[in-house]
Structure 1
Amino acid sequence: MEKSGIRIIVIDDDSGIVDAIKSFMGDKYYIEGYISSREGLKRLKKEKFDILILDYYIDELNGSDVIDEIRKYDNDLYILLLTGFGEKVPGMKSLETLKIQNYYEKSADFEKLIIFIEGIIKSLEFFNRVKYTISERLKNLRKLNNLSQDDVAKYLGIQRTTISQYESGDLIPPTLNVIKLARLYNVTTDYILCYELNIEKINIPISKK
């Protein structure tokens, strides 16, 4: 089976958790695991990963310490915080106070954790597909209107390098700039954001809650 491009790193002092995640998901995704917080941090500084699955209580560094260190140099890494002590590390408070994207309280049902992680991966893969479609659309619209990146940057009042990031997929324009670009190119904001592709080409389950 060909592996997904998503790269995952696990930091948990429980080697059983690390080995189980690698065993259940290692055939589909690139996964590295560490039982030492410092070893995991050392690896994260050297290599780019998409998702960190992080236990809260590890060793002399807890999850909060690890997150603070990571956010000094990487704001893009998706962090899923795990804990077996929900009363000490409550989910809502963790999401509000820590720079993480998701939270999961450990339970005896390991399959639920795997399903939860798979959901995160699918969301990231979907976002990456749309992100690069948006970048291609912005580049094509600029060329169709015979404009340079400098022209568009001047119109938006930003640096040309930012336009380059929009068109490479490294950065998605904020709402105000999407509106301005839609006016410049005489298209809708939905067209720039590829909403018709999201709905028609990618099957996304819609919650009825």
Structure 2
Amino acid sequence: MRLAYEAAVAAGAVLVLLLTGCSASTGNAESGAGSKPTSTPKPTPTIEAGPVVLSKEQAADRYLGLVCQRNAANARIGNAFDAQLGAFQSGGTADVTDVKAAAVEAQRVNRLAIELIDDEYFTWPDKVRPQLQILRQSLMAFLSYEDGLVNSSDFASAASQQVPDAEAGAAAAQEIRYQLGLPADTTASCVGKETYTDTLHAAMVERNEYLASFKDKPSK
């Protein structure tokens, strides 16, 4: 009878465990349920957050990205003027269309170059920082000039626009070239860099968007 009683008690205990969904290790399960979940590590950028100090060689390459495409765009304005100058001087009809189109592109490129100068991600060598600001002022002055060309109603109006004094900007540009070990020849040194401003600016935008994705977002 005692064995039958003990068997019945054991069977009852098993039934209770089954009905409650518990197991013999209930105490361990309950202690585990109260533990905190492991936090996921916050992702970090795979590039430097900046500022990045430019070496002399890096600064030289980046400087060409500021000026080469701009120089080419400005040259197209001059070529567009020259193509119509004969007709204009002889009293004929001079078309301003190409001048305006060249000015639109030069204005766009100059604006991108200014944004690259203002990019605080990079730290330029001390010896060229003052000259970069002079160059920036020159670019700003030419933005206004190019805006006048873009909004000219005819060739005479475009030809009457006051060209900014480029002497200070040109001197600063040559000083930067000297300090960075670049040749004074602004044509030969720019071969292959005809769209470099666009390239550097696109990289800047992509980099800024990438780094911004790691910043803490405000809670709603």
Q: Which has a greater percent of helix?
A: 2
Which structure would you say has the larger RCO, counting Cα contacts within 8 Å and 6 or more residues apart?
2
Shorter chain as denominator, the TM-score bin is under 0.3
Q: Which has a greater percent of strand?
A: 1
TM, length-normalised to structure 2: 0.26
TM, length-normalised to structure 1: 0.27
